[in-house]
Structure 1
Amino acid sequence: KLPEVKSVKIFGRTDDTWRVYMYISKTHTMEASVNVGAMFVSPWIARNGVERWTLGFVSRKQFLDFLSRIREKDHVRRYYIHEIPEEEFVMVTANYLPILRMVSQLNKLTPKQLELLRLALSKGYYSWPKGTDSVELSRMLGVSRVSLIKSLRRAELKVLSAVVDFMLASKRDWEKEYT
């Protein structure tokens, strides 16, 4: 049974995405997550009939209990388990808004910039000693060295500014709230 939508508020829209806030009736997954004591790590996302839940569990047993309850009424297509130390989990949950701002900034990387960074990383451009240099990367891509460096620096600026802004905001927020 699908949840009943009680109210909807549209926050934003692009060509291919709508960001909405929905107040819906309780679902089996919601109920099971509360009953086993799961922690919501990020908002629930529904797209094309598929729900995505990002939850935190204190143990594998707690997760497996949750999974068995869900499978009683719902189909689970796939799930991922990523174990992180408790202090990192606290850092993420305490800094959720700065993380969202950082992700928003990182999403401004163009597909070409992302591919360029991936290639530079995979070829050892950022390693010490370097696995490759800008001349070799520019040859691989069939562009001039100057063009490569210009594109790489623009991509690096987006990444570094997003990460540094996040680190400064999270440190400032943490000190303001918890010291």
Structure 2
Amino acid sequence: MNIVTEFIIDSPLLPLVSIPDTLEPDEIECVHALCLQSDVRTFTVRIDPDDDVSPENLSALDEILETTLLGDTSDGTVYQLTVELEESISEAFESEHIDATQLESTTITDNQWHEKKLFRDYESFNEFRQSCENNDISFELVSISSGPSVSDGIAESGLTDRQREALSLALSRGYYESPRKVTAQELAEELDISQPAMSSLLRRGERELLSASLGTNGQLNTLSV
């Protein structure tokens, strides 16, 4: 059974807590995270423009390797930040410990992340909580309840059966892990289709999922240069 959880993790070593700690914002929102390497993550964050945070302010922080200003939405200025993780945080955030989907933007304050995630089952949630505690990350559970099936959520996203099949196979085989455990060619062979056809299924499926997740509110206004 899927588990919907709301929790707070607390550590001065958590990614991006240096922003509210040293700059003006009381909090920022993290809307997406991508694993590049075991100790490097790229985060998409939203910051209130009234907080007067500049790309130069962000780039000056020790943990941030690269800062990219993406644009503006009605909810704030959006940045893509590439961050080098502390060793203990990297271990806690390993993909094998996080069998979950982010349900809402993560609120980041001084030393804390406030998150809402859907875990595949209670065992997956408990493994993540234990991993945090093993790496000296304080874990406070705010709420926990049974959630809808992951497959139900996928079915409502507008995916075709073939796109769903391709994405499910790719996820189960480790295609979206870093480093990847399987290639698109290997996935294509399992489905008995060509590699370009497999890549097209994944790309179109990913686009459908992103469109369903972000909606029109997730679109960015392009910056002029």
Is TM > 0.5 for Structure 1 vs Structure 2? no
The structure richer in helix per residue is 1
Query: What range describes the TM-score normalised by the shorter chain of this pair?
Result: 0.3 to 0.5
User: TM-score when scaled to structure 1?
Assistant: 0.44
Larger strand proportion of the pair: 2
